Each structure stands twice: as C-alpha cells, then as structure tokens.
Amino acid sequence: MANEVNPFESMQEQGDDAAAYVDLADDVVERLKYPERVLELNLSVEMDDGTLERFEAYRSQFNGDRGPYKGGIRYHPGVTRDEVKALSGWMAYKCAAVNIPYGGGKGGIKLDPAEYSDTELERITRSYAEELRPLIGENRDIPAPDVNTGQREMNWIKDTYETLERTNEPGVITGKAPDSGGSAGRVEATGRSVMLVSREGFKYLDKDIADATVAVQGYGNAGSVAAKLIDDIGANVVAVSDSSGGIYDPDGFDARAAKDHKNETGSVNGFAGASEEITNEELLTLDVDLLIPAALENAIDEAIAQNLEADMIVEAANGPLTPDADDVLAERDVPVFPDILANAGGVTVSYFEWVQNRQGFYWTEQKVNNELERFIVAAFEDLIEGYESHDVESYREAMYIVAIKRLANAAKEGGVWP
Ligand code: NAD
C-alpha cells in the first residue's frame, strides 16, 4: 500500500475538486477543509502485570453545522493525527451525501488490539471514554465502531459515560449490542449499502449483476457482508483477501463458507472452496466485473490503477484509492462509486439506532433494511443527478458536489457567531 500518501491531504483535495464545480466562496471552502477541533491524548493505562503503558489517542470533530459530530473509533497501529482528521472529514461529507443530520467526527487509538488482553483493552477503552466524556453526548458527538472495534467497545464506552454522568443515555454512542440499545441490522449495514450501491451502479450502467464476477479486498465486517449479500443477488464472488493474502477461483465460491473458514482459522488462506492462493496485489488487478476494496485507505495507488482490469469499483473502505489512482481510473473511464456513498450504510443505521434510542421504541430488522434501502437509493439518485448536471470526471466528484452544497448551505444558514 502506498502509505506515504497523506490521507488528510487526499480528503482536502477531494473537497477542493468538488468545490471547483460549485459557486462557493473561498472562505466557505477553506472552512470545510479543516476539523473544528482535535483532541490529542496520551493515555496512561495499567497493564495486567501492573506496569503502565502509554497510548496515543485522538478524537477529531470536523464540522457540526448539520448536527452532532458522528464517526467511528479505530484501534490500529497505523492511527495518526492526520488519518483521524481525514476520516472525520470524510464522515462530514458522507453524512451530507446520504442526507442524515450529522456532522463528521472520528477517533482512534494507536495500538494493535491483538497484543492486549481483554481486561487491558477494557481499561484502555474506559480510559479513552473518560477523556472523551466532556466532548461527547447524544446532542454533541456520537462515536461508533470502526476498524478493530465493535459492540463490546461501544458497550464499555456507553457504560463509562453513563456511570460518570449518572444518566441513562444510550444515544451517546451507536453500534451497541442489541441488549444494550443497539439496532437490528447494524452489523450488516455497511456491507448492505455496498451491495445496494453495486446493484444500482450495474443498473445505471446497463449491466447485469447476475453472474458478474466480484473480487473483495479485506474480508472483515464491511467486505465479508458485502460479499455475502452480493452473492445473494446473483453475483459470483471469485476472489477475497485479508491481511495474510488472498484466495481465487475463476468459477467462484461460497462467500459465507469463506467467512466461516476465516472465523475458524483467522484467515481466508487455506479455504478448501477456492482453487488458488493469490497476493493482495494480484487480487487488485484481477480481470473482474466488480472490485470492492474493503481494507484500509490507499490500497490502490497509481501503479495498481494502471494495471487494474476490473470494470467497476465500489469502495467499501474509506479512502482506498490515492488521488493519483483516482485520476488514472477517471482517465481510463473505469467507474468508481465512492466510499462516502457506498459504505454509508453503517452511519445511516447508526442514525436509525440513535433515533430509536431517543424514541425508546425499537424497529424490526426488516424496517431497518427497508429504511436503509430508501436512504441509499435516494442518495444514489442524487449522485446521478449531480453527475449528469455537472461536467465532472468521476462519480466521486458528483457525490462531493451534492455533499458540499449541503454543508455549505448549513454553514450559510447558521450564519457566523460571534
Ligand atoms: P475489519 O477490521 O472488520 O476488517 C478489515 C479487513 O481488512 C480484515 O479482514 C483485515 O485482515 C483486512 N486487511 C487489513 N490490511 C489488509 C491488506 N493490506 N490487504 C488486504 N486485506 C487487509 O474492518 P471493517 O470494519 O470491515 O472496515 C474496513 C474498511 O471499511 C475501513 O476502511 C473502514 O473505515 C471502512 N468502513 C467500515 C464500516 C463498518 O461499519 N464496519 C463503516 C464504514 C466504513
């Protein structure tokens, strides 16, 4: 991966590209390029052997004009201040793209969770939650899961917040387990929006998704659910990968069985249903109808983009293409349906979870899935309207145009204080 590309600069560049097509004042564009505030922490946490360890942690609150800040918390050794800032900006654009009433936020702790015990992870998470407490709240900033965090961490954060605040406020965080105020359908929501955008993309481009060949890079929450649901609508998953490498079978294989194998062994490698093992780079350049990058940012750089043979890309990961790769694919006319729409299912169902928490009334999974489909299909239509009414080079630019207009309107309508 071309990790030398600074994701914060990529995010700013994408905003600039969109702003160039809309009549926005420079000061508004400037405001939409930087987070409003970034909390930087050094957490000192006791390990099981009694020693203290320091953890670098962040929370970036990007833009609050359209509603409370909203975005996930990532545990990864690659977490940096700039990565968190970039991810918070993408969240602001994403919430505006799918038209849910939130600004953008993101948090992260620089660590590899595999190196810590459950009790250590709980203390690290609670220490982080205690530091976040003055900044978060169901009307202020609502964190959620991201890479290497899930229901367990969300439940700990909710419990820490509620204990210290002496309140009951499940809407302070989303992605909780159902018995702790979580929503039906949340775990599958990101993969579901990837499937819906793939389906709509094929339809718009007048292609048939039945029997289309699909490769998925990254087989975690987003990638494996997308693969399973895309398989359910008739496509043929032929390759998937994780951080240990990939598997390939030109005839396709059962995406669910590949996930079961990963759950049992820790990796997709060795899955008996696929005929070949391949590298991640080989997966990214396979000749398939649809490529779904679902690992981390900057997975596809300029060189890979030049060799890429997929006919369409739907981004499940955040920022999986470098700006140079984006330019190459636009020049080569490879359609790329962008992250801020394709993976917005997670934040959309987080929004439904927050609505349910505030109402104290919980929806069925069917209602969640129906509402999600309604939001994602409407956003896809907005994207196409933006694409057809501006002379843009990519679907990404079109989606950013839709989003930046909404962000700029909210800023203008709110006026300036003080
Ligand atoms: P996850 O930790 O569940 O899965 C990540 C997967 O990527 C794992 O299978 C890991 O082995 C694999 N991976 C890591 N490095 C890789 C590499 N170099 N090559 C191939 N595979 C690699 O994380 P997730 O929640 O599925 O998130 C994946 C991406 O989707 C991230 O960019 C995240 O920000 C984005 N996303 C996730 C959600 C969500 O709700 N989970 C929502 C929106 C966006």
Q: Do the domains at 35-180 and 189-342 have one common CATH topology?
A: yes
Report, as an integer, the average pLDDT of 346-356.
97
Which of 248, 394, 231 is closest to 326 using CA atoms?
394
Q: Where are the domains of the chain?
A: 35-180, 189-342
Burial of 374 (0-12, 13-18, 19+ CB in 10 A): exposed
Q: Count the Cβ atoms, other than its own, within 10 Å of residue 266.
A: 11
Instruction: Give start and end residues of each alpha helix (H) in 80-167.
Output: 81-97, 118-132, 151-165
The pLDDT tens digits for 47-61 are: 999 999 999 999 999
Cα separation, 29 vs 35, whole angstroms: 12
224 lines ligand 1 (CB under 6 A): no
- Nearest ligand 1 atom, CA 242: 21
Cα separation, 292 vs 304, whole angstroms: 14
Architecture of domain 189-342: 3-Layer(aba) Sandwich (3.40)
Ligand 1 pocket mutation, candidates 3, 194, 296, 351, criterion most atoms within 8 A of CB? 296
pLDDT of residue 370: 98
Active site residues: 106
The pLDDT tens digits for 110-136 are: 999 999 999 999 999 999 999 999 999
Q: Looking at domain 35-180, does it have CATH number 3.40.50.10860?
A: yes
pLDDT of residue 2: 45
Q: What pLDDT band is residue 1 in, cutting at 50, 70 and 90?
A: very low
The pLDDT tens digits for 182-241 are: 999 999 999 999 999 999 999 999 999 998 999 999 999 899 999 999 999 999 999 999
Report, as an integer, the average pLDDT of 168-176.
97
Report, as an integer, the average pLDDT of 294-305.
94
Q: List the structure tokens of 327.
A: 């330019």
Q: Give the predicted TM-score (pTM) of the model.
A: 0.94
Residue with more model confidence, 328 or 18: 328
Q: What pLDDT band is residue 26 in, cutting at 50, 70 and 90?
A: confident
Q: What pLDDT band is residue 302 in, cutting at 50, 70 and 90?
A: very high
pLDDT of residue 318: 87
Span from the CA of 381 to the centroid of ligand 1 (angstroms)? 27
* Closest residue CA from atom 14 of ligand 1: 243
